[in-house]
Structure 1
Amino acid sequence: MSSAASQTPAAGDRSHARATVAAATVVVVGASALAAAWGMELIGGLPPCHLCLLQRVPYYVGLPVAAAVGLGAWRGLPLGWLRLGLALVALAMLATAGIAGYHAGVEWRWWPGPSDCSGPALAPFGSVTDLMAQMQSAHVVRCDEPALVLFGLSLAGWNALLSLALAMVALRGALARPA
């Protein structure tokens, strides 16, 4: 066969097995991270800020792609397609790692965060009267104050590390050579 895209799995092909394991790892660990975030929000009462919600978006994109890659590897999809899918998953995990790293930097006051959740309170309002009206009707969760710190890292910091690890898993699966 002349191209990687046309390769189909042979008996015991380690490349397909690695793609399956990589995809399954991303799905299980990523879904667990999302479940923990939703659990802390819905059960633990920790409302997410704007950046916390933004960190979830790449998971919502990457996890279905990872599930499709795992299913495709199991069903014998050509290796080129599996690699492409895992590369897309790695990009999604790198995106959430970037957002999480930015968020952690905002929490540590290394740089300013978005004005809608960490800037001066009067910025989006025309007057103090408008501000008072908004304050009575809405609760803004600040992006520059960590909701929870575990072992010296905020949840954003932990998400950055976890997302980088998942990106590495996906890349390793994408770069696996045929046996």
Structure 2
Amino acid sequence: MSTSSNEVMFPSANTFLINSNPIFLITRKGEREILVFDAKMEVKTSDPKKNEGGNRHVGVDVKYWEAKATSKLLGCDIGFRITDLGDNSKVTALQLNKDFPSKLEFNMEYEVMVNGEVIKSGLSGSAEGQINSFPPKPNDMFRVAGKSMTLGEDTTVDVVACAC
């Protein structure tokens, strides 16, 4: 089986539309629900460069990201939307002279919506995970590190993973 060079190397600067399915665990009063969101993202990347350690990386500017799902446990629609992507968001090769696997690092501000209305804003967080291609291929799955978020007194939301 042959592999084309664009599958094993970072692409040149470009704009990419990425569909993904972030997976979250919702807990309310001891009951749990796995919620799979539908997400749309538009990103603009820089040309690949080498960092101080010699590993290649691409800068990532997320122009748009929104995720939506319907929770049966909570009886409402839930959404997340990036309001500002912080500095230093990038994808960095984990090895010299090889672009993949790579580490994805996003620093961002976001808001949470319930039934289309913003209920929390000005939140900050980061997403990190290992990816094996960029943009991720359909059916790629990667872990995302994130904080537990509290919605109200008795509801928590925890990120589990992301699938493309």
TM-score category (smaller protein): under 0.3
> What TM-score do the two structures reach when normalised by structure 2?
0.23
Structure possessing the higher relative contact order (Cα contacts under 8 Å, 6 or more residues apart): 1
> What TM-score do the two structures reach when normalised by structure 1?
0.22
Structure having the higher helix fraction is: 1
